[in-house]
Amino acid sequence: MVLLMATLAVGTLAGYRSAMQKASIDEITLDEQRFEGLRRALPRRGVMGYASDRGGGREGVRAYYYITQYYLAPLVIAPDDKRQLVVANFSSPLAMVEFAEAHGFSVTQDFGNGVALLRSVRR
């Protein structure tokens, strides 16, 4: 009986561990993969702007900004859209295009999943 209970406990633990490992290919890993193409297209150093609709609320927006800064380091990402080149991190391609049109940007390169490089068309 003890052997049976131990076997069941080990099986349950192994199943739980397997589920947790699948969950650890989590949002952070998936989000980092969203920026892979952009990272390869950008220079290693410099300063770029940032625009996003992700996060909902001030703290959420800040969290996405800091995560983006982390993914693209050592490039410096300024938390504004007052630069010639701006990293776009949007929840949808439509939201990104609407932002670009409303704020005087063109989409220079779209990397999919709401990530793009915007260029100012303002004179």
The pTM for the full model equals: 0.74
Angle between helices 58-72 and 27-34 (to 10 degrees): 60
* ∠ Cα 106 107 111 (to 5°): 170
Residue 24 has pLDDT above 90, yes or no: no
Q: pLDDT at position 118, please? A: 96
Domain boundary assignment for the chain: 1-26, 35-120
| Mean pLDDT computed over 44-65 | 85
Q: pLDDT at position 20, please? A: 58
Name the band, by pLDDT with cuts 50, 70 and 90, for residue 23. low
β-pairing verdict for 47-52 and 105-112: unpaired
